[in-house]
Amino acid sequence: MLHVAFSTVAAPDWTLRQIARRAREWDFDGVELRTFGPGSTDLACDPCLSEPSKVRAALEEEGVALTGYATGARFDEPLSPPPPVGFVFGDIERPVRELKPTVEHAASAGAPYVRVFAYERFGQESRAGAVRRIADRLRLVCDDARHQNVRIALENGGSFGRIEQLQEIIERVQSSLLGISYSLSAGVLSGEDPAEAARAAGSKLLVCRVTDRRGDRPCAIGQGDLPCEAFIRALDSMSVPAPVVIEHPALWRDDLEPAEDVLPASFAAVTSWTGSAEMARA
């Protein structure tokens, strides 16, 4: 049975306790906490605004699981000066240092993963060069995570929108702690079949992100144009226990339907497509 959660980008003005209470009321299994790291006030429910023990307690009191932490961290920043001099004098580790406090916070709160991005190639650089730069940084992140009992979930997007492009980075990093966060929307944008991509990810799949849209407007799952049903049914047929995170990007747009309308409807659609729901109706 799929673990179904929602991302807190759907309700940026809610406190962590409001998030937990609504998740319980709407029967979600868990929540994924979006964070901008220590010191940020962009989200009222940013977990890094509280001690990890308080984050854990707020969710446990409502019987809601902490699905994971989602960051916008990316590891594509070009070296300055450029290689080969940049490898000696450049600050290749700066993005790694910036993420480290969030990884530590997530681990202390009990989050299974921290979501990050590879993201872009720059200028005329080769893909091999971009992969090498990104993988070198991710290897350092995984070295830190090794001591924290948390995994790193690399999400598709930008120049790395397809599953084989993520796998190329993962194969170079060679860490059991590095897995995949697969975004249905980014996969569609890259031109691949998300259901087939999820199957190809196999045991490396740590979390799946689902959003829907009509044209360019995000909407409740199942009410738009993206192949959400086929994706959910494919996940439900797999043995990999990757949670499904429903994402409604109200943090980035103020013209969307409220979370109170979108999230319960999305949960109902997702669970109606799973084998457990079909067995319950039999």
Residue pLDDT, tens place only, 73-98:
999 988 664 544 444 334 678 889 99
Average pLDDT over residues 88-110: 85
The per-residue b/e assignment along 160-169, b for 16 or more CB within 10 angstroms, e otherwise, is bbbbebbbbb
Name the residue among 205, 207, 209, 197 with its Cα closest to residue 248: 209
- Counting residues of the chain whose pLDDT is more than 90, the rounded percentage is 80
Per-residue pLDDT reduced to its tens digit, 120-145: 888 777 888 899 999 999 999 999 89
Identify whether the C-beta of residue 144 lies closer than 8 Å to the C-beta of residue 105: no
Take residue 210 and report the two structure tokens written for it: 């689902």
What local confidence, expressed as pLDDT, does residue 91 receive? 64
- Sequence ranges of the domains in the chain: 4-281
Residues 222 and 228: beta-carbon distance below 8 Å: yes
Lowest mean pLDDT of 29-43, 114-128, 168-182, 238-252, name the range. Answer: 114-128
Distance of alpha carbon 89 from alpha carbon 258, whole angstroms: 49
Q: pLDDT of 234-273, one tens digit each? A: 999 997 889 999 999 999 999 999 999 999 999 999 999 9
Contact 31, 19 (CB under 8 A): yes
| CA 9 to the chain's CA centroid | 11
CATH 3.20.20.150 at 4-281, yes or no:
yes
12 neighbors 43 (Cβ within 8 angstroms)? yes
CA distance 6 to 91: 36
Determine the residue type at 51. E
